[in-house]
Each structure stands twice: as structure tokens, then as C-alpha cells.
Amino acid sequence: MTNDRRQEDFAQRLSRISRERGETTDPDQGRAKRDITDFDYNAPRERHPIRNGLIWIIILGALGAGGYYGWNAMPQDLKDTLTSIVAPDDSMETALATPEAIPETETMSDQGPTLQSPAVVHDGDTPVMLDNIVAQVSLPDDSTAIGDIIPIIRNAQCNLRTPLGSEKVMGVRIENALLPAPLYTFSNQQLAEQLLLNVEAVTQNGADLVNDMDLSGEKTVLDVFVTDTSAPLYLVLQNMGPGIIWNLHAAPDVQIAHVALIGSDFSGAANLQPDTTIEGLLVGDFLPPHQYGADDTPRDCMIRPWRSPQPDWIGSRKSEAGSLLYQNQMYSYTKGYEAYNRWFTGALGVGAAANTVTARDAAHVLLGPVPTEPFTYNGLAGSDIHLMETDHLLIGDSASRHAAAERLHQDLLTAAIGGDFSALNPPAMERDSQ
Amino acid sequence: MIGGRTSFVIFLLILGLPVVVLNYGGLNVGGWISEQTAQYIPEAPDPAVPEAEIAVADPFQWLNDRPALRDTFIPNEMTGARYVQVEKILNPEELLLAGEQAPDAAFLELYAAARAPAQLIPYCSEVVATIGTSCDLVYSQARENREGKWVMDGRLAYVPAVDLGDPSSVENGQLINARATLPYSGDLRPPNDTETRAAMLTQAQAVCDTLRDQLGNCVLTRVSFDVHELWITDLEALPAGTNPQRVEASAEYTVYADPMQLDANGLATLVSEIVNPE
């Protein structure tokens, strides 16, 4: 900076002289207007399109790269919030969906539909509720008093009765039933496996045994409403989760000729018709516990009842969105189903999908059309239960059954430890105490 | 024109400088700050202030500020970073108490897992007699081997009985570890008994002591005892009463050192030279 104002003083003098002479024109008139700045003392401003272009490219590039990495580093919930603000419509949301942004819903899980009571799972798209099917409903609870237990001798040859030509094979294939069952049943092997988990929780993870001890043996109930009157029925009731008491409800004129149970746990059936025959296959009698890839290859007696992944499963959608975890899981389901279907077709003469209703979790299932008039619900109270035979069966009200199971677990655990529970976590040893 | 080029260069420098600093200098800014903070020496307490009012400094604050080092170097706690791995092989009948009936075969694995802690905790007496001031069983498991015997594995965490050295004096340090099998004389591994295992623990600690003398710090982070059983045909050639269970020990040593001065290969060589002197 400078305080030299001589140029301005000279300009003012010229201006005053011009006014005194009566001249009013601008001394610069007629000359090309120059582009000047206050900082260059009237030097002409030069344009630098290449330089300025490079600067803007660098700035925009930096902003773009920063934005990209910043967006990727942002927490998913914040991204979802921002996305929903900027693009609230569903189509845009779907287009931007990542596997993490596809949540399970109340009725659709990673592994298929999950329908709580009173919704009824059936082979159709229209929602069906319990009161569309049956009347005088009395759902079971975990203290319902049941009738006698009739043992089912497990099929040891993996050779289910072949359906007759006059019979129609129908099936249900699920993972978990959602109604409580008033009994516990479990084998010594299951008891040992559960207690081993309890012990290892203490000896390997430092858990508190007494407070954390889980019990084995709980079962569930599924209502199966049968309305198909087209032929005598051969029902194949299949599940992969904890054992199920399949409570049958045959509509008028329905004839259930045979029931085949296939499951990973000890299951049973209630409210059979007088002439209905029943048999059971336990997966563990023929297959080892499942490990990833173990069921990919078709083989004899591959009876683990896999369900075929459907496009609307959340797991399928996550797989489509690029999740490697779900791609592996859906691949495992697909290959497992293919192997199971091969065994099923060979054993029963129809495919595993024929006349079969599937879901992951359900409380009620309908086989056949929705009846024109609701028919009477078969309560579990007082009904005899045909049950796969095993080492331990506990019935009675919920509290006494739980107490008996806990006593059984603790007695065995005490015997296994060979002393007090504290022996699982012995005190530390100090040098001074030697 | 010249002014434009100059301003352009200055602009690029302004733009590029943070990138260079963040990418090449920024990685160690946190460490630099920690080092500078750690070197801060508080002023001597004012003698006019009563002693009770002076805040007591945590002697392990330096370690507490460094979670990656803490489990290895904290001297007065048992941690998962320092343990002795022990193994015990039992015949099926040894799993049972005197006069006890064998349970259902489905329960044998449960019995073995539930009895493993009582079988393995006595090994702590060897630890507190040699390398530790206290010892606790923090993990145990049991499995059946191909011979139908039960193999119990346990991890004994311990509080070291010796000084571990001063890792805080190391600048730009990293945890470096090396393993070595402890030597034994003769063709036959030593017998798996209390005296042998205690001697092996002492031997492993002696190597660590030598390392600490040379490097300023050392932690015996793991000693593993692998038990093998001799075949009957092997035993026939040996004197009657020979213990069929033989033991081999390996040790892992961890030091905190500047990797520019001592890398993992260098430590492995050093440990090997100490363990197997010519």
C-alpha cells in the first residue's frame, strides 16, 4: 500500500480544467473500456481459462471423492434417514437398497413367511383368518390337560408306507410352530447336549451356571385344518425346528388315511381319525447334525426337510442385493431342498412341493379350500397324543413340568460334576497359599 | 502472467499440503501426541499442601492408556494374554470316582467336560511355584481321542512373579513375539510329571529373563504342554515302570520393541540362540 495520491490529484485537476472550459465529455470517451481491478493499478486483467478450469476440476474432484468416501463411511441408519428425506418414494428406496437396508417384517423373515395366530397359512394369496375356517375355538396353552400318550415307534428303515393310487399326498413343511404345548419330551442325547452347553458356558465363557441354565424338551403345537375331500389323504407333516404336536382338524367328508411325520425332533399328532395310521421319521436317526454344505449332495434317506427359497423371502432379497452371507444361505437351502426333493419323490411318488403348504413359522395351516361354513375346532384338551417315543416325557401343568425338568437336569449335572456346582469354577490359587 | 503462475502454484500447495500431512504424517499423530503427553513430568508437589490432598497417580496409567499392550504387560492382573496351556489324558475308568457306576454312554462327554476343571486346577500349583504369584483356570474342554481316552485341555492364566521390564521407555514400539520348543536331552521326551513341568516353566522363564536383560522388557505370554502317550511297542523296549505319558513344552515370548531395530525374525533368531546355545 502507499499514500501517494498524486495520480488522483492530477486527475481531479484535469477534471476541473475541463469543467472550466465547458467540456462535459469523459476524457476516456472513444477509447476501449479496459477491464481493470483496484489491485492492479489499472493494469489490464488477463483471463486464464486453462488455469481456472484446472482449479475447478481439482475442487470438484476433491468434493466428489470426499463425498463418495464420506457417504460410504456414514452409519447405515443415518444414510437411510437421509435417503428417505431426499427420495421418499419406494421405487428410489428399492433402487438404492443394500442388504442391510432390507429389514425383516412382522410377516416375512429371512427364511420365509412367519404368521402368528389368528392368521392361517394356506396355498393362496388372500389372507385367511382362524374364524374363516373353524368355530368354537379353544387354543391350547402350556397347561392344557391332555389325554393319553400313545407311543409312535420310529421308522428305523427309512421306508415310509407307499401312498396308494387312490390317495392324494398333501403336506405341510415349516420350521417352527407358534402355539404352546403342554408337555416336554427329550432324549438322553438331547439332555446331554443341552447340559454340555450349560457347562461350557461356565468353563469357557465364565457364565453363572445356576442363573443361566437352559432346559431342553419344550414342544409346540400347530393346527392343521384339512378341507380337501377329493380323495383319501396321505399327509406328510414335516418340520426342521423343535418338535411339534400336529393338531388335526378334518372338515366334514374329509378322510385322512395316513400321516407321516418327518422332523428333526420328537413330534406327535393329535385328533387323528379312528382309521388313520401314523408313522414317524426322526432326522437324527439317519443323518448327522447339519453342517454347511452337508446336504448339498443327494443321497439315500436325505430326510432333512428343507424348504425351497422363494423370491419374497428377505434372505432371497438380501442375496439378490449382494449379501454373500445370504447368497451362501440361500444356496444351502436350494441345494438341501433339491436333495430332499429327490428322496421325497423317490419315496412317495410325488414332488416335495406337490399340494404342500410351507412357511417358516405358523400357528395354523389350511390344506384345501376355505370352507363355506366354519366347522368345529378340535381342542387339545382331553385328546390323546400320538408321540414319537424317547427317554423322557414330562406332562402336567407348566410349573410342575418345569420343576420336574429342572430337577432332572440338576440331578444329572450334579452327578456329571461329581460334586458341587462350584467345582465347575474352582477358586484361583495364590503363591502364599502353597 | 508470472503473478498468475505463482498464485496457481501457491494454490496447489495449499490444496496439497493437508493431503500429504494427513496421509503420511497423520497416521502417527495420535502416537506422537501420546508420546509427548507421556513424557510430561508433573511438577513436584507443593510441600505446603497436606499429603492426603495430593491425587495418587495410577502407576499403570501408561498401560491403561494402551489397551493393546495392557493385557500383556499389566503386572498385577490375570489376563487372557498370558497363560499356561495344559493337557491331561485320562483312561475312561479314571473319569469316574471310586466305586462310581459308568453313566449312559450319551453322558460321557458331559461327565468329562464337567470334571475337567477339578482335574486341571491342580496344575496351578506348578505355576505359582515357578512363574506366577497367582493362577486360575480360565478355560477348559474335554474330548475323546481315537484311543477312546478323554483328553482335557485347560488354560491357566497367571500373574507374573517377575518384573516384566519397562515398555514405556520404548519409542515407536510394537508387540513382537516368537515361539520356541524347549529342548530336552535324549531321544525320549521327558515324563509328564509335576517336577518336569515345573522345571520347564522355570526354563521358559529364564529365557524371558535373558531377553529382558537385553531388550528391556519381556513377557512369557504362553507355555504349552503337549502330552503324548507312548505305544505299547515303544514301552516294551524301555525299563519297566516308564511313564508312558511324555511331555513337550513350547513357549511364546513377547517383547515391546521398535520394529526398525528388532523385527519378528530378529526376535525369533535371538530366542533360538538363547534357548539352544551352541
Residue A296 has pLDDT above 50, yes or no: yes
| Within a domain: B148 | yes
| Within a domain: A110 | no
Chain B nearest-CA distance from A400, in A, is: 25
Contact between A424 and A209 (Cβ < 8 Å):
yes
- Nearest residue to A367 via CA among A251, A284, A274, A278: A251
Better-scored residue on pLDDT, B103 or B233: B103
- Do B128 and B19 lie in a common domain? no
> Residue A31 has what pLDDT?
52
- Do B175 and B236 lie in a common domain? yes
Q: What is the span of the domain harbouring residue A387?
A: 117-421
| Within a domain: B220 | yes
Chain B nearest-CA distance from A211, in A, is: 17
Residue B120 has pLDDT above 60, yes or no: yes
C-alpha cell at A180: 404352546
Q: Taking CB atoms and an 8 Å limit, are A203 and B139 in contact across chains?
A: yes
Which of A7-16, A352-361, A404-413, B239-248 shows the highest mean pLDDT?
A352-361
Residue A45 has pLDDT above 50, yes or no: yes
Chain B nearest-CA distance from A431, in A, is: 5
Better-scored residue on pLDDT, A324 or B64: A324
Band of pLDDT at residue B15, cut at 50, 70 and 90: low
Residue B29 has pLDDT above 50, yes or no: no
Chains A and B: how many Cβ contacts under 8 Å? 98
Arithmetic mean of pLDDT, A137-155: 94
Note the ipTM here: 0.76
For the ranges A320-334, B21-35, B61-75, which has the lowest average pLDDT? B21-35
Arithmetic mean of pLDDT, B33-52: 51
> Residue A28 has what pLDDT?
52
Contact between A251 and A225 (Cβ < 8 Å):
yes
- Do B132 and B261 lie in a common domain? yes
Residue A86 in contact with partner chain B when CB distance is under 8 A: no
- Do B261 and B137 lie in a common domain? yes
- Do B13 and B108 lie in a common domain? no
- Do B14 and B129 lie in a common domain? no
Domain count of the fold of chain A:
1
Residue A7 has pLDDT above 90, yes or no: no
Which of A98-102, A318-322, B48-52, B58-62 shows the highest mean pLDDT?
A318-322
Residue A50 has pLDDT above 90, yes or no: no
- Do B123 and B239 lie in a common domain? yes
For the ranges A267-281, A339-353, B54-68, which has the lowest average pLDDT? B54-68
Arithmetic mean of pLDDT, A290-308: 90
Query: pLDDT tens-digit profile of A180-193?
Result: 999 999 999 999 99
Q: Give the whole-angstrom CA distance, residue A57 versus residue A52.
A: 9
Band of pLDDT at residue A42, cut at 50, 70 and 90: low
| Within a domain: A8 | no
> Residue B27 has what pLDDT?
46
E strand or H helix at B194: helix B194-215
- Do B34 and B90 lie in a common domain? no
Count of CB atoms situated within 10 Å of the CB of A84: 12
- The residue whose grid cell reads 470334571 is B115
Query: pLDDT tens-digit profile of B219-233?
Result: 999 999 999 999 888
> Residue A371 has what pLDDT?
96
Arithmetic mean of pLDDT, A427-434: 81
- Do B7 and B120 lie in a common domain? no
- Do B236 and B150 lie in a common domain? yes
Query: Mean pLDDT across chain B, nearest whole number?
Result: 86
Q: Give the whole-angstrom CA distance, residue A178 versus residue A387.
A: 18
For the ranges A36-40, A394-398, B6-10, which has the lowest average pLDDT? A36-40
Arithmetic mean of pLDDT, A4-17: 74
Q: Give the whole-angstrom CA distance, residue A319 versus residue B274.
A: 55
Better-scored residue on pLDDT, A101 or B137: B137
Arithmetic mean of pLDDT, A102-107: 92
Residue A413 in contact with partner chain B when CB distance is under 8 A: yes
Domain count of the fold of chain B:
2
Query: pLDDT tens-digit profile of A201-248?
Result: 999 998 887 656 677 789 999 999 999 999 999 999 999 999 999 999
> Residue B48 has what pLDDT?
56
Arithmetic mean of pLDDT, B113-136: 97
Q: What is the span of the domain harbouring residue B15?
A: 2-53
| Within a domain: B46 | yes
Better-scored residue on pLDDT, A167 or B56: A167
List the single best residue of A199, A204, A391, A430 to mutate versus B (max B Cβ within 10 A): A199
Better-scored residue on pLDDT, A259 or B17: A259
Contacts of A431 in chain B (CB under 8 A): 128-129, 132-134, 161
- Do B35 and B120 lie in a common domain? no
Angle subtended at Cα A122 by Cα A116 and Cα A127, rounded to the nearest 5 degrees: 65
Arithmetic mean of pLDDT, B21-37: 48
- Do B187 and B116 lie in a common domain? yes
Residues from B contacting A (CB-CB < 8 Å) are 1, 4, 8, 11-12, 15, 78, 97, 100, 103-104, 106-107, 109-111, 113-118, 121, 124-125, 127-129, 132-141, 161
> Residue B177 has what pLDDT?
95
- Nearest residue to B208 via CA among B278, B133, B124, B131: B131
Q: Give the whole-angstrom CA distance, residue A348 versus residue A336.
A: 18
For the ranges A2-11, A241-250, A253-262, A392-401, which has the lowest average pLDDT? A2-11
> Residue A10 has what pLDDT?
76
Q: Give the whole-angstrom CA distance, residue A368 versus residue A187.
A: 35
C-alpha cell at A73: 463411511
Better-scored residue on pLDDT, A59 or A432: A59
Residues 6+ apart with CB under 8 A from B163: B75, B212
For the ranges A84-88, A323-327, B109-113, B114-118, which has the lowest average pLDDT? A84-88
Residues 168-197 of A with CB under 8 A from B: 187-189, 191-192, 195-196
Contacts of A209 in chain B (CB under 8 A): none
Band of pLDDT at residue B30, cut at 50, 70 and 90: very low
